[in-house]
Structure 1
Amino acid sequence: MLSVEEALKMVDDLIATLPPFVQGLLVKAETATKVQKNKLVAGVLAVMGLYMIFGYFAAFICNVVGFVLPAYWSMAAIETSDKTDDTKWLTYWVVFAAFSVIDFFADGIFTYFPFYWLVKLIFLAWCFAPISENGSHKIYHRVLRPYFLKKQATIDKALQRASEAVGASLKAD
């Protein structure tokens, strides 16, 4: 089981990946409250967890966290000369897209699984976690990539036929 110290260390690691202006706000909050910023963030995360179970805007918050933060980090990665961070974020977006398709068809799950938005939020955070083998890396390499490589030729042919059909219908008009 995860100890409090280990959990706070994970929160520190998360804080280190936040944009500088957010880190600055956390330092100000730490100074004003005299509570360590990792404990402030842990408290906010706990309240958010409860809200994600019982709150009205849980779906919106989940989608903002799963989209806005990774979009920011993706844009920052594009601006670096290092291509490994680009690959990391492309991998996240492939997994995010695959999950979004599955999510679309999972509407009925909300009735039976009240913790859905909290679990989805945790899942997406695991997918973009600042660790080398985060959720996106594992899902891409263990599930999506093998399937893609197996089906790529078939998918390419279907896309080519569809492209030709669309092109032909546009020329006919």
Structure 2
Amino acid sequence: MASLRERFTNYLNGDNFVSRLLGKAEEKTGIKKYYLATGSLCSLGLYLIFGYGASLVCNLIGFVYPAYTSIKAIESADKKDDTQWLTYWVVYGVFSVVEFFSDIFLFWFPFYYLGKCAFLLWCMAPFSWNGSQIIYSRFILPFFLKHHQTVDSVVSDLGGQALNTAENVTRQVLQTLTSSRSLLARDGGQQALPSTSHSKEQ
């Protein structure tokens, strides 16, 4: 517990977005960053248990900050942070698929959104043993290495079928347009003939 508290304190005193935001709040209120952070976390936890719209708040927590940090990682020269946030998004995607099916049974659980929020915060936590790294290395990567050849084959077959279908549809559309133009041109010529002959007789 002491080590976790020490990590938390070091993070609040480090150079990051949360630390700078809490630093500005500390200057205005005179309350230390540690108390502001713990009070905010407790309030957020209570809201996720009893508040209205907890699902939206939880999803925003799991998306907004990682998306912001991912953009910064893409634009930076260091590629280590790219790997970190790509790993997070892979885990987030797998979790979203699993949640789609489990949410039917778990949404009524009073601590569901609190647990989900804690899980997402653990996945994006700024240390090497965060949830994304552990879940990816222990579960997702072994599954991928075991089945990736089969998945690649299926994706390749589906891609080929989609390309053939697109070519066939395009060919049929072009043939239909060509036939329609030919019919319109022929009908237009036939309608123009009587008026031409009539003008000659006059």
Q: Compute the TM-score of the two structures, normalised by the length of structure 2.
A: 0.77
**Selected match of 2:56 from 60, 72, 75:** 60
Question: C-alpha offsets along residues 76-114 of structure 1, whole Å, 9 cap, x if unaligned?
Answer: 111221111110010000000000100111222112x22
Q: Which runs of 5 or more structure 1 residues have no equivalent in the other structure?
A: none
Q: 1:146 matched to which residue of 2?
A: 142
Q: 1:90 matched to which residue of 2?
A: 86
Structure 2 CA distance for aligned equivalents of residues 15 and 71 of structure 1: 23
Say whether residues 1:7 and 2:5 are aligned partners.
Answer: yes
Structure 1 CA distance for aligned equivalents of residues 114 and 24 of structure 2: 28
**Selected match of 2:107 from 106, 110, 129:** 110
**Selected match of 1:26 from 22, 25, 30:** 22
Q: For the Cα contact (< 8 Å) 2:122–2:131, is it kept in 1?
A: yes
Say whether residues 1:164 and 2:160 are aligned partners.
Answer: yes
Residue identity opposite 1:110 in structure 2: F
Q: 2:194 matched to which residue of 1?
A: none
Structure 2 CA distance for aligned equivalents of residues 84 and 167 of structure 1: 36
2:107 partner SS: helix
Structure 2 CA distance for aligned equivalents of residues 15 and 57 of structure 1: 31
1:107 partner SS: helix
Structure 2 CA distance for aligned equivalents of residues 94 and 59 of structure 1: 21
Residue identity opposite 1:7 in structure 2: R
Question: C-alpha offsets along residues 116-135 of structure 1, whole Å, 9 cap, x if unaligned?
Answer: 11111110100010001211
- Identify the structure with bigger relative contact order (alpha carbons < 8 Å, sequence gap 6+): 1
Structure 2 CA distance for aligned equivalents of residues 11 and 119 of structure 1: 22
Evaluate the alpha carbon distance shift between residue 11 and residue 51 of structure 1 in structure 2; reply closer, same or farther with a 3 A threshold.
farther
Structure 1 CA distance for aligned equivalents of residues 162 and 146 of structure 2: 26
1:142 partner SS: helix
Say whether residues 1:126 and 2:122 are aligned partners.
Answer: yes
Structure 1 CA distance for aligned equivalents of residues 150 and 26 of structure 2: 56
Q: 2:77 matched to which residue of 1?
A: 81
Q: CA deviation at 1:161?
A: 1.0
Aligned-pair RMSD on alpha carbons? 1.8
Structure 2 CA distance for aligned equivalents of residues 170 and 14 of structure 1: 54
Question: C-alpha offsets along residues 141-161 of structure 1, whole Å, 9 cap, x if unaligned?
Answer: 000000000000000011111
Q: Which runs of 5 or more structure 2 residues have no equivalent in the other structure?
A: 170-202
Q: Compute the TM-score of the two structures, normalised by the length of structure 1.
A: 0.89
